[in-house]
Amino acid sequence: MALKQISSNKCFGGLQKVFEHDSVELNCKMKFAIYLPPKAETGKCPALYWLSGLTCTEQNFISKAGYHQAASEHGLVVIASDTSPRGCNIKGEDESWDFGTGAGFYVDATEDPWKTNYRMYSYVTEELPQLINANFPVDPQRMSIFGHSMGGHGALICALKNPGKYKSVSAFAPICNPVLCPWGKKAFSGYLGTDQSKWKAYDATHLVKSYLGSQLDILIDQGKDDQFLSDGQLLPDNFIAACTEKKVPVVFRLQEGYDHSYYFIAVFITDHIRHHAKYLNA
């Protein structure tokens, strides 16, 4: 599949690049960002996938998170996808910030008119990794995933739905129990229909209750002053309780004074890179 390079910038000895390609899953042109550390010049490196939150593109993470130095030091290729299909001209896709464009929720839609394009789950778990494996010096056997907010939800469900596929998972302020929060109810009813039993297949709290895969050490950072935490959008306590019940290891850190922004992510991103490097470079 043809890749078109959009940009390339040297950073901490490596290269931060952005590419465009025609997506088969999403039936549109998509962009992704990829950071190639210095080690990628001489051999295959582990791949770490980042999933962003509502309204974001591939640009938010690469310009605001400040992860490059840690990724360079640990020799990790870091890939950041977009958050939804773009330019599909579906009626209603640009009417609200939390549904449609920029809000794919990392599900495979089953409802019209979304099901033809809104297949972000298959895109980030299958199509994008295959594209990366075929075109860049990565080791397909060493792959991990992390994300923020809607992308934190995405990272958790990708890891829980695919035991053994990802070596590690982490999240910043993830939407942990979307079947019970306003964001999730809106997105899932639109993409997946009114049968709420189908929603549980994309809900980390429900997925962990039936998880039977290899051990997965989960790291979650949550800002204590996050407005969406107090608004009941994130519901981490439900996820922690489910992990505890199933004896799935999770480190949950409630960070005093921090909100939902990239200022929060930038403070703790190095911890997350280290968390993944521990498993990816083992």
CB 131 within 8 A of CB 1: yes
∠ CA 51-166-193, nearest 5°, is 55
The reply to whether 148 belongs to the active site is no
Secondary structure element (H or E) that encloses residue 241, with its range: helix 236-246
What are the percentages of helix, strand and coil residues in the chain, rounded to 5?
A: 40, 25, 35
* Termini Cα distance of the chain: 32
Sign of CA dihedral 150, 188, 86, 140: positive
> Considering 148, 260, 272, 276, which one is annotated as catalytic?
260
The side-by-side arrangement of strands in the sheet containing 218-223 is: 4-11, 14-23, 28-36, 77-81, 45-51, 138-148, 169-172, 218-223, 250-255
The residue annotated as part of the active site, out of 108, 203, 221, 226, is 226
Active-site residue 276, yes or no? no
Judging by DSSP bridges, how do beta strands 218-223 and 250-255 pair with one another?
A: parallel
- Does 260 qualify as catalytic in the annotation? yes
And the tokens for 67? 């992860």
Give CA torsion, residues 99, 19, 64, 227, to 10 deg: 10
Select which of 23, 144, 149, 170 is catalytic: 149
Q: In Å, how far are 54, 57, 84, 267 from 124, measured between CA atoms?
A: 16, 14, 10, 26
On the CB side of 242, how many CA atoms lie within 13 Å of its CA?
18
For 51, phi then psi, to 5°, come to -115, 125
Q: Which tokens is 104 given?
A: 């794919």
Question: What residues act catalytically?
Answer: 149, 226, 260
